[in-house]
Structure 1
Amino acid sequence: MRTLLGCISLCGLMLGCSRDEQPTPIPPGAAPTEIALAGAPVMIGAGDIAVCGTAGDESTGRIVDSVLAAESVAKIESLVFTLGDNAYPSGSSGVDNDFPRCFSPSWGTKRIMKIIHPSPGNHDYDSGNGAPYFEYFGARAGPKGKGYYSYDFAGWHVISLDSELYFEHGSPTEARAQEDWLRADLAAHHALCTVAYFHRPLFTSGTNGPTAQVQPLWRMLYDSGVDLVLNGHDHDYERFLPQTPDGVADSAKGIEQIVAGTGGGDLRPLRSPLARNSVFQIHGRFGVLKLTLGPGEYRHAFIATDGRVWDPGGRQCH
């Protein structure tokens, strides 16, 4: 990781930045805690990943694998998450199965697969109602056929949800079952810090637009004091101020949301004007989101495929 943390940029704060502008180097005296928590456990991943015959997912996969290798040498605990749309175009099965053909060569290394915790996206459900996704990831995807699960990592509680249950691949009954499960899971776990991730974002400046259907999930997460929500679906990087499920900035109880749909699928522009409370945006760059998790705090950074680091920052848990 230390070799990758070369530069940062404030350019992404403005939609109109030229893509030819280069990130500003980190000042020589910058404290390491501005970028990462030394020796802290790591979560790394992205969404919208594997496309056969393209280089984006291969580049992001190499970053993930190299970060894991470095953390392993340093004996730092790590895990990999995915934010849905793991294999394009349709998560198909059979001879043309998109997972072994497209995902395995890039993000399917032994080092990654040993500690991966995926979430499903709409493209993962386009074949066999998600059967190839669940078959490929097995127990790593949680209880078979459900698409949602939780686990504890480094003193944090981590929740992986299935936003597709609100759309054609799910049903009202399945969506309510997930909500009932989430309510019980939140009540049963009292970790100081909690992060949740799923495919479709409630807030976004991306071309797909916001997903109002996931607001019930957001409201439960907010009411339970969850700190951070991660999403994909829009093929860009975007971070929002801590806010309520209604989009009101809330520095005391608000959830910080980060979209990182930059794992390898075709990159897309942002809409103008930007969504309310959007504070950092990057488009036109593949990369991954790295989180370092401390007791009561976290740091975030976007690592682009050229090794540059964007949007380093952090926050205390509620």
Structure 2
Amino acid sequence: MRRATKLSAAAAGLAVLAVTGTAVAVGNRHGSDNDWPYAGHGVGAASYTLAAVGDIACEPDDPENSATPTSLKCGSPTLGGMSAEFATAKQATDMHPDVVALLGDEQYQVGKLTDFEQSFDQAWGGLKMLERPAPGNHEYYAYAKKGDNEAAQNGTGYFDYFNGHDQSGAPTTQGQAGDDTAANQGWYSYDLGNWHIVSLNAECDSDEFKHDCSTTDNGLLAQETQWLAHDLTTNQRPCTIAYWHQPTFSATTAATATVPASAPGAGGVEGAAADAWWKLLYQHRATLILNGHEHAYARLRPMNPAGQYDPAHGIPEFIIGSGGEALDTLAGTQGNYANPNVVTAQASAFGVMNFTLKPHGYSWDYKPVLAGPGFDASALQYSDSGSGSCN
């Protein structure tokens, strides 16, 4: 692991799983007296718990953010705020996960290192050694909306937080968030029992990607796509999960201004670019795709890369952007969603997904933990659970 600070003594004896491009530490319960979270499953375990969520931490109201409007910072009545991110962190902790998949936009508004330290880390820092993040637009892009004007960080704070840095502040180039180099901006894969799990970086409209969202030229996103093709080809495990931030298919009004919710690319240029990833994942019979970006929870039917229902070989998409920062508006109503592939959705409360990964299948259990601004406790009556098999 790259970041050696703040590690519990219980981290001693960690077993290291093989990872493409980095090392992932997961504990070994066999022969260990250590309790969770650092005493994980050993080889041959029957099942693993994967907690998954994105869009988590409000921007801290500190002197460094004095120019940010108060409506965009922790304490704003329109945001989930600290209470929401602490609630979702506790929910994830109570799952006793083996791994926590973070689906981007971990820290608002532009993901400075000090923002991560003053907000995200306050709530989610206790799970840090189990977190396997993907970046979102708020970690890469500038933010110039609603009276705010903050410069793009291009992943600097994100990598500094998850991968660490030296005493002079120079970032470490390899760690649990993947590589931070000119040739690799944090895409990586890791294995958990029979499951192969891939974390991707979709933030192609950034300086680091030279604002090039083509998957077929010689740019960075094309190189990432080539890496994904090779990673999937060499994978030997029967079950595969891939996750990145912007969804290819949408469930909310926020992402459907120019493209129908059921069409590839409703999430913007990043979602359109990720259409190439869908095609690769579909070709290799991936089991699940997870996204954030839309501040809601939604489960979509198994789909082919064109967004058509495909019960035989399609991939279900889960949007889990309910980590605590804010909530969006669903496109349509229950039973009449704008995207007919949306099976169920909610955008009135914050919550974390609990996946149980079994040798040849999985189950999911989503329950919100805190009602959003303007909603009462009835929002917590929502739940979604079920099971599926690996393709």
TM-score using structure 2 length: 0.66
Mapping for residues 139-218 of structure 1, pairs under 5 Å = 139-145=175-181, 146-165=185-204, 170-171=209-210, 172=212, 173-206=219-252, 207-209=254-256, 210=266, 211-218=271-278
* 1:178, distance to aligned residue in structure 2 (A): 0.3
Kept after mapping to 2: 8 A contact 1:237/1:260: yes
Mapping for residues 240-255 of structure 1, pairs under 5 Å = 240-255=300-315
* 1:309, distance to aligned residue in structure 2 (A): 6.6
CA distance in 2, matches of 1:168, 1:84: 18
Number of corresponding residues: 268
* 1:316, distance to aligned residue in structure 2 (A): 0.9
Instruction: Check if 1:299 corresponds to 2:316.
Output: no
Q: Measured at CA, do residues 124 and 200 of structure 1 come closer, stay the same or move farther in structure 2, by a change above 3 Å?
A: same
2:109 equivalent in structure 1: 89
* 1:290, distance to aligned residue in structure 2 (A): 0.8
Mapping for residues 79-158 of structure 1, pairs under 5 Å = 79-93=99-113, 97-109=114-126, 112-126=127-141, 127-138=152-163, 139-145=175-181, 146-158=185-197
1:228 equivalent in structure 2: 288
AA aligned to 1:140 is Q
Q: Measured at CA, do residues 168 and 285 of structure 1 come closer, stay the same or move farther in structure 2, by a change above 3 Å?
A: farther
1:44 to 47, 51, 61: 51
Instruction: Check if 1:61 corresponds to 2:89.
Output: yes
Which stretch has the larger CA shift, 54-63 or 265-274? Answer: 265-274
CA distance in 2, matches of 1:157, 1:237: 24
* 1:157, distance to aligned residue in structure 2 (A): 0.2
* 1:58, distance to aligned residue in structure 2 (A): 1.2
CA distance in 1, matches of 2:385, 2:226: 35
Which stretch has the larger CA shift, 223-232 or 127-136? Answer: 127-136
Kept after mapping to 2: 8 A contact 1:91/1:99: yes
2:328 to 265, 268, 289: 268
* 1:165, distance to aligned residue in structure 2 (A): 2.1
Q: Measured at CA, do residues 184 and 166 of structure 1 come closer, stay the same or move farther in structure 2, by a change above 3 Å?
A: farther
Q: Measured at CA, do residues 236 and 169 of structure 1 come closer, stay the same or move farther in structure 2, by a change above 3 Å?
A: farther
CA distance in 2, matches of 1:166, 1:246: 23
Kept after mapping to 2: 8 A contact 1:119/1:198: yes
CA distance in 2, matches of 1:245, 1:168: 28
Provide Cα deviations, 1:252-284, integer angstroms capped at 9, x if missing partner: 110010000000111111113421311011111
AA aligned to 2:390 is C
Q: Indicate the structure with greater helix content.
A: 1
AA aligned to 1:261 is G
Structure 2 gaps, min length 5: 1-44, 61-73, 75-80, 142-151, 164-174, 213-218, 257-265, 371-379
Q: Measured at CA, do residues 117 and 309 of structure 1 come closer, stay the same or move farther in structure 2, by a change above 3 Å?
A: farther
CA distance in 2, matches of 1:156, 1:84: 21
Instruction: Find the residue that maps to 2:355 and give its secondary structure.
Output: strand
Instruction: Find the residue that maps to 2:274 and give its secondary structure.
Output: helix
AA aligned to 2:132 is H
Q: Measured at CA, do residues 82 and 241 of structure 1 come closer, stay the same or move farther in structure 2, by a change above 3 Å?
A: same
Structure number with higher relative contact order (C-alpha < 8 Å, ≥ 6 residues apart): 1
Q: Determine which structure has more spread, i.e. the larger CA radius of gyration.
A: 2
Kept after mapping to 2: 8 A contact 1:247/1:276: no
Give the percent of matched residue pairs that are identical in Structure 1 and Structure 2.
33
* 1:135, distance to aligned residue in structure 2 (A): 1.0
Instruction: Find the residue that maps to 1:106 and give its secondary structure.
Output: helix
AA aligned to 2:55 is D
* Backbone CA RMSD of aligned residues: 1.8
1:33 equivalent in structure 2: none
* 1:190, distance to aligned residue in structure 2 (A): 2.2
- Runs of 4+ aligned residues of structure 1 deviating over 3 Å after TM superposition are 166-169, 306-309
Kept after mapping to 1: 8 A contact 2:140/2:206: no
Provide Cα deviations, 1:51-78, integer angstroms capped at 9, x if missing partner: 133121111011111222xx6xxxxxx1
